[in-house]
């Protein structure tokens, strides 16, 4: 989460000292260096210095003016004017011949793109910026370039890459201020990888940031520590720590930090039974919603308000808060998908460009060969062309007919005739191939399996035409939630499955819950009857079930039956525990005979 770690560190370290040219230039230099020193720790003083420098711009050298332009762009980022910051940074990047200034400005653009949620552009700019790192002599600038990479990869959910770059920085001799930012980047990676270090290591990062006056980064680290204490059962200790530093958090005027800590306090206090305190902190977090779009703090704040209303037996307020929670959670999940898609797009772009260049070279060679043939066969060209056109026309016509026939047969072989989604055989084939790729590259995958509740009763009560209508609506509903890389298939009867690429079990649970809610919301009046459609879901993931499709299906099927036993219309995830009533293992040979 790049935004969580603050803008300042992504805007790489300051330029080397500029030569002093006269008293006016010397005064400008002193102001510039002071502004560099306080730009993240004392925003008010930074703005004062920036105003003073802009007045004295004409007295500055070319290098000083470039540094001033950079600081002005930085101020636009800090004020939330990200598009303006990108435009100003691009002008500076194109006009400056200083490699270190180009490197620094490129990092600022990466930050701005990330804040605008334009992750693909941010990744492209990061590649261009890091290509300059070997030409940058300032070690602190190089370290901060690695920091940009660590934080951006954390932002798009590639925490292993984020940890790799953070460790590269911390393996070097770095300034105390860099230890603060790099340490927090590393904590964020480890937190999302469920591998947080001992409390003392987290406290050490907090102390480093406090020493450097980086209040915002220190309090993000405190939030990480509070989460760890909560997991250890020390909720009261976590609440006390956060409350003791709440005034400091609010003094930063950083909306994302305020929303993060306020929503965390609300969640902890609700768990402790302090409903008044939980409500006050949740409302404080929601007050920052303009700056918290698509973020977990806003989701948790709305969820806390919903749970408070539930406890107070206020269904009207509960419904209102639940709608806000559902919208915020959906926006956050969509944002997560967008980040993953951006990463996949940029990761393959280089390979695609190489393939395109190779293809163009081959096409050029074919054209050159054709020209030589044409020159050598000038006398026979007309007859050859006529015959060739006739032959190509006939071949093209039959190729077109055959291609259409093949496409039609392929669709029939791969598609369920009723619902239009993958049939059992094609779902098995596609899922097996996807799991094999995931196993090779170390990506996670998850399987969601669900079965419509009391479907036989629908067929018996309203007829098979109505039953078919229900199956079509369910397939359409779930298809709308799937990405192009996911596989949705009908296994047989009223049983469906979704293989999700790149999701862990928690994310798959959220997707399954979204499917469950939408299925339960299907309006059946269009069928000519009024009844309720619900489904029971089972979820399994590769961390516990491995990359074998049969085992994933078996574990998901066990969880589906558990959901049935526990009352239907719910989602159960496989946790590695043996179910109370063992279910038969689904083998690869049994996949072709699987029925609902």
Contact 449, 496 (CB under 8 A): yes
Q: Which CATH number fits domain 256-346: 1.20.120, 1.25.40, 2.60.200, 1.10.101?
A: 1.25.40
Task: Tell me the two tokens of residue 289.
Answer: 């919603």
- Find the angle CA(169)-CA(175)-CA(177) to the nearest 5 degrees: 95
Contact 106, 128 (CB under 8 A): yes
pLDDT of res. 399: 66
On average, the pLDDT of the chain sits at: 84
**pLDDT, tens digit (0-9, with 9 covering 90-100), for 32-73:** 888 888 887 788 888 888 898 898 888 889 988 988 899 999
pLDDT of res. 406: 66
Contact 257, 220 (CB under 8 A): yes
Residue 75: which residues within 8 A CB-CB, separation 6 or more?
Answer: 46, 47, 50
Closest CA to 188 of 222, 153, 154: 154
Judged by average pLDDT, the poorest of 216-230, 345-359, 447-461 is 345-359
pLDDT of res. 144: 80
pLDDT of res. 408: 58
pLDDT of res. 582: 45
**pLDDT, tens digit (0-9, with 9 covering 90-100), for 1-36:** 444 444 444 433 333 333 333 466 788 888 888 888
CB crowding 463-502: b at 16 or more within 10 Å, else e: eeebbebbbebbbebbeebbeeebbbbbbeebbbbbbbbb
pLDDT of res. 579: 53
What's the predicted TM-score (pTM) here? 0.49
Task: Mark out the alpha helices in 56-118 (DSSP H runs).
Answer: 62-78, 82-95, 99-115
Contact 496, 450 (CB under 8 A): yes
Residues that are catalytic: 494
Q: What is the DSSP string of 176-197?
A: HHHHHHHHHHHHHHHHHTT---
pLDDT of res. 350: 58
Q: Is the pLDDT of residue 294 over 80?
A: no
Q: Is the pLDDT of residue 394 over 90?
A: no
**pLDDT, tens digit (0-9, with 9 covering 90-100), for 481-516:** 999 999 999 999 999 999 999 998 899 999 999 999
Same fold yes or no, 1-196 and 424-593: no
Phi and psi for 21 in degrees, rounded to 5?
-120, 85
Q: Which of the given ranges, 195-204, 283-292, 407-416, has the highest pLDDT on average?
A: 195-204
- Work out the angle between the directed axes of helices 119-130 and 139-155 (0-180°, nearest 10): 160
**pLDDT, tens digit (0-9, with 9 covering 90-100), for 141-192:** 888 888 888 888 888 888 888 889 888 888 888 788 888 888 888 888 898 8
Owner of token pair 């948790």: 300
What is the mean pLDDT of the segment spanning 571-581? 75
What is the mean pLDDT of the segment spanning 226-247? 91
What is the mean pLDDT of the segment spanning 552-570? 96
pLDDT of res. 390: 78
Task: Tally Cβ neighbours within 10 Å of residue 408.
Answer: 10
Q: Percentage of the chain surpassing pLDDT 90?
A: 35
What beta strand segments (E) does 176-323 contain?
none
Q: Which CATH architecture has domain 424-593?
A: 2-Layer Sandwich (3.30)
Judged by average pLDDT, the poorest of 97-111, 543-557, 559-573 is 97-111
**What residue ranges do the domains of the chain occupy?**
1-196, 256-346, 424-593
pLDDT of res. 17: 32
Distance of alpha carbon 413 from the chain centroid:
35
Q: Which CATH architecture has domain 1-196?
A: Alpha Horseshoe (1.25)
pLDDT of res. 594: 40
pLDDT of res. 347: 72
């Amino acid at each position: 989460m790049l935004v969580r770690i603050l803008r300042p560190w992504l805007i790489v370290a300051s330029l080397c000292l500029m030569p002093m040219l006269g008293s006016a230039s010397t005064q400008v230099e002193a102001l510039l260096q002071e502004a560099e020193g306080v730009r993240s720790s004392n925003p008010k003083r930074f703005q004062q210095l920036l105003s003073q420098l802009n007045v004295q711009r004409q007295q500055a050298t070319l290098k000083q003016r470039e540094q001033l332009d950079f600081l002005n762009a930085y101020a636009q980022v800090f004020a939330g004017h990200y598009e303006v910051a990108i435009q100003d940074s691009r002008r500076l990047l194109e006009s400056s011949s200083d490699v270190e200034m180009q490197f620094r400005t490129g990092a600022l653009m990466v930050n701005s793109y990330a804040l605008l949620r334009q992750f693909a552009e941010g990744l492209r700019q990061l590649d261009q910026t890091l290509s300059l790192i070997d030409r940058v002599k300032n070690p602190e600038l190089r370290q901060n370039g690695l920091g940009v990479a660590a934080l951006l990869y954390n932002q798009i959910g590639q925490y292993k890459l984020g940890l790799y770059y953070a460790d590269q920085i911390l393996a070097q001799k770095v300034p105390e201020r860099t230890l603060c930012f790099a340490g927090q980047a590393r904590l964020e990676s480890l937190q999302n990888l469920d591998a947080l270090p001992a409390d003392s290591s987290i406290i050490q990062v907090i102390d480093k940031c406090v020493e450097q006056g980086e209040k915002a980064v220190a309090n993000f680290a405190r939030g990480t520590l509070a989460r760890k204490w909560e997991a250890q059962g020390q909720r009261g200790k976590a609440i006390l720590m956060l409350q003791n530093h709440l005034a400091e958090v609010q003094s930063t005027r950083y909306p994302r930090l305020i929303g993060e800590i306020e929503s965390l306090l609300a969640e902890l206090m609700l768990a402790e039974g302090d409903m008044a305190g939980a409500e006050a902190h949740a409302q404080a977090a929601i007050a920052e919603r303009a700056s918290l779009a698509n973020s977990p703090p806003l989701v948790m704040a709305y969820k806390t308000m919903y749970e408070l209303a539930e406890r107070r037996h206020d269904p009207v307020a509960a419904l209102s808060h639940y709608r806000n929670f559902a919208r915020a959670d959906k926006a956050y999940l969509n944002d997560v998908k967008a980040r993953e898609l951006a990463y996949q797009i940029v990761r393959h772009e280089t390979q695609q460009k190489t393939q395109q260049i190779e293809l163009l070279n081959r096409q050029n060679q074919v054209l050159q060969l054709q020209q030589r043939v044409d020159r050598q066969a000038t006398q026979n060209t007309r007859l050859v062309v006529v015959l060739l056109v006739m032959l190509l026309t006939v071949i093209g016509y039959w190729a077109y007919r055959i291609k259409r026939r093949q496409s039609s047969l392929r669709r029939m072989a791969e598609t369920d005739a009723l619902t239009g989604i993958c049939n059992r055989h094609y779902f098995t084939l596609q899922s097996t191939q996807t799991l094999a790729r995931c196993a090779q590259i170390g990506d996670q995958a998850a399987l969601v399996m669900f079965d419509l509740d009391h479907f036989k009763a629908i067929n018996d009560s309203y007829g098979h035409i109505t039953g078919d209508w229900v199956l079509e609506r369910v397939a359409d509903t779930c298809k709308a939630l799937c990405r192009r890389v996911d596989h949705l298939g009908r296994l047989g009867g009223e049983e469906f499955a979704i293989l999700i690429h790149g999701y862990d079990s928690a994310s798959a649970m959220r997707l399954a819950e979204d499917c469950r809610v939408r299925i339960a919301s299907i309006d059946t009046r269009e069928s000519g009857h009024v009844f309720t459609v619900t489904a029971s879901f089972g979820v399994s993931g590769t961390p516990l079930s491995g990359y074998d499709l049969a085992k994933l299906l078996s574990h998901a099927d066990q969880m589906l039956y558990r959901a049935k036993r526990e009352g239907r219309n719910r989602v159960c995830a496989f946790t590695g525990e043996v179910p109370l009533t063992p279910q038969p293992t689904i083998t690869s040979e049994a996949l072709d005979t699987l029925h609902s």
